[in-house]
Amino acid sequence: MRKILIGILVLYAYILTSGQETNSLLATSRYRNYTLSDLSSDVIKAFNEFPLKLAQYRRNLLENMISATLLKVEAERLKLSEEKLIQRIKNTAQKPSIREAENFYQSNRDIFNDKSFEEVKDQILRFLANKKEQEALEKYVEALRQRIKINFDRDVNSQSTNPQDVIVSIGNKKITFAEFEKTNAPALYEAEANFADMIIERLEEKIFDDLVLFEAQSLGVASNDLIAEEITNKIKDFSGYEEEFLTAKFRKRLFEKYNVKILFKGPKPSIQNISTQDKPSKGNPAATVVIVMFSDLQCPACAATHPLLEAILNEYKDKVRFVVRNFPLVELHKNAFQAAQAAKAAERQGKFFEYIEILYKNQQALDQESLKAYARQLGLDMKRFEADMHDKAIADSIWKDIEEGKNYGVYAT
């Protein structure tokens, strides 16, 4: 934990101290060196503004933790689980009307790709219901803020050297720097990595443009002719992918020829120990490469990804292990949680992967009766299957996957 904290603070300090230095060396080459001043004004502006944006982002993340802690304190007071308290609050939200859905459809027709209202009605109603539930949660949390004492001990952006220093106290709970960094390490890494990727991408574009001109001059040809020879004239399918491939290949050759070295580096990814114990898996249990997929069985992207992972398993065989953990997006997909329950029930009869294969191919029919029909299709013991589907231990294991997934930085599937 201390390593993660120090790593984030080192990058943060680097940006703070170098943000105003336009002569900081970002890259070298045999042609010339590059500093921040060589990049466009919008990149320089983004570079200089990033420390402030990162500081605000950290404050926002802290506010999210405070809200979650308030709900935890209140759940303990009411002797409820956090999930039950949140569901109780959501149940107070007014259901959206058909009129509201129609108004939303008329105001946003351009995003529905010419689909009729009837085709997207259920999707709109779920979206509006989720919005109202979120508003109910926010209103409830705001009331808790007025009732439960909150003491800020330190600024979340101060560079504390002690991970156990307390940032804020909420009732009888405390949030330390260690807890803040551990909880938000994935989100902070993503923010910092996206920023670094943008800088490096624009830097490489600038260097590539310069080297194309310099190479063309060295060869005594026009730069457009050089681009045509290396890229344009070789394109056959005009899909865009081939052009990207040829451009990347040409860039790589020029960067090697002129010994380009990018000195500006992004943050190192934090290493996380993701538990795979007692989770459904395929492949060699002793494989050195383990792919862990947090899946939503009603998610189209998961359905599209699943066969790709199966192909990887077939190609690399004993070198790879594939593990599935649950992450149903209950706010978006109304049948995702019960589909996860059904899959866990099928797992108890040794048919997890066969069962989810069927679910991915039938995502429009994941209601209770359909889930039972798929189990019968696989010849499962239906009495046991139905009992397991409603087993509290299975529901608890799914909620645990969701909670741990969030701790790992999983927000979507």
pLDDT, tens only, 71-128: 999 999 999 988 889 989 999 999 999 999 999 999 998 888 888 999 889 889 988 9
pTM: 0.71
Per residue in 165-210, pLDDT (tens digit) is 999 999 999 999 999 998 888 889 889 999 999 999 999 999 999 9
| Residue 229 pLDDT greater than 60, yes or no | yes
Asked whether the predicted pLDDT for residue 8 surpasses 50, the reply is no
pLDDT at 5: 38
Out of 1-10, 15-24, 267-276, the most confident range is 267-276
CATH topology of domain 281-407: Glutaredoxin (3.40.30)
Distant-in-sequence, close-in-space partners of 358: CB < 8 Å, separation ≥ 6 = 374, 377, 378
Average pLDDT over residues 317-335: 86
Stretch 318-326: mean pLDDT: 90
What is the predicted pLDDT for the residue at 40? Answer: 94
- If you average pLDDT over residues 336-362, what whole number do you get? 92
Report residue 21's pLDDT band, with 50, 70 and 90 as the boundaries: low
In the predicted model, what is the mean pLDDT of the chain?
88
Q: What is the mean pLDDT of residues 206-216?
A: 96
Gap between the Cα atoms of 52 and 59, Å rounded: 11
Going by pLDDT thresholds of 50, 70 and 90, the confidence category of residue 150 is very high
Mean pLDDT in residue range 34-38: 95
Bridge-based pairing of strands 34-35 and 25-28 is: antiparallel
Q: How far apart are CA 249 and CA 258, in angstroms?
A: 14
Give the residue-averaged pLDDT of 206-223: 96
**Dist. CA 178–CA 2, nearest whole Å:** 8
Q: Which of 263-277, 298-312, 350-364 has the highest mean pLDDT?
A: 350-364
Put the strands of the sheet holding 281-283 in their side by side order. 281-283, 320-326, 289-295
pLDDT band at 412 (very low <50, low <70, confident <90, very high): confident
Mean pLDDT of 383-397: 91
Confidence band (pLDDT; 50, 70, 90) for 409? confident
pLDDT of 137 strictly over 90:
yes
Average pLDDT score over residue span 238-265: 91
Segment 301-327 shows an average pLDDT of 87
Burial of 301-326, coded b for 16+ CB within 10 Å and e otherwise, reads: ebbeebeebeebbeeeeeebbbbbbb
Residue 304 has pLDDT above 80, yes or no: yes
| 32: phi then psi, degrees, rounded to nearest 5 | -170, 170
Cα distances (Å, whole numbers) of residue 294 to 319, 357, 398, 408: 21, 15, 11, 10
Which residues does 154 contact at the CB level (< 8 Å), separation at least 6? 160, 165, 166, 167, 177
Q: Which residue has the tokens 């009729």?
A: 116
Q: What is the predicted pLDDT for the residue at 277?
A: 84
Q: What is the 3-state secondary structure (H, E, C) of the chain?
A: CHHHHHHHHHHHHHHHHHCCCCCCEEEECCCCCEEHHHCCHHHHHHHHHHHHHHHHHHHHHHHHHHHHHHHHHHHHHHCCCHHHHHHHHHHCCCCCCHHHHHHHHHHCHHHHCCCCHHHHHHHHHHHHHHHHHHHHHHHHHHHHHHHCCEEECCCCCCCCCCCCCEEEEECCEEEEHHHHHHHHHHHHHHHHHHHHHHHHHHHHHHHHHHHHHHHHHHHCCCHHHHHHHHCHHHCCCCCCHHHHHHHHHHHHHHHHHCCCEECCCCCCCCCCCCCCCCCCEEECCCCCEEEEEEECCCCHHHHHHHHHHHHHHHHHHHHEEEEEEECCCCCCCCCHHHHHHHHHHHHCCCCHHHHHHHHHHCCCCCCHHHHHHHHHHCCCCHHHHHHHHCCHHHHHHHHHHHHHHHHCCCCCC
User: Out of 240-254, 266-280, 337-351, which region has the weakest mean confidence (pLDDT)?
Assistant: 266-280
Q: How confident is the model at residue 386 (pLDDT cuts 50, 70, 90)?
A: very high
Q: Residues of the chain with pLDDT > 90: what percent?
A: 59
| The predicted structure's pLDDT at residue 11 | 44
For position 22, what pLDDT does the model report? 60
Is the distance from CB of 44 to CB of 117 less than 8 angstroms? no
**pLDDT in the model for residue 148:** 95
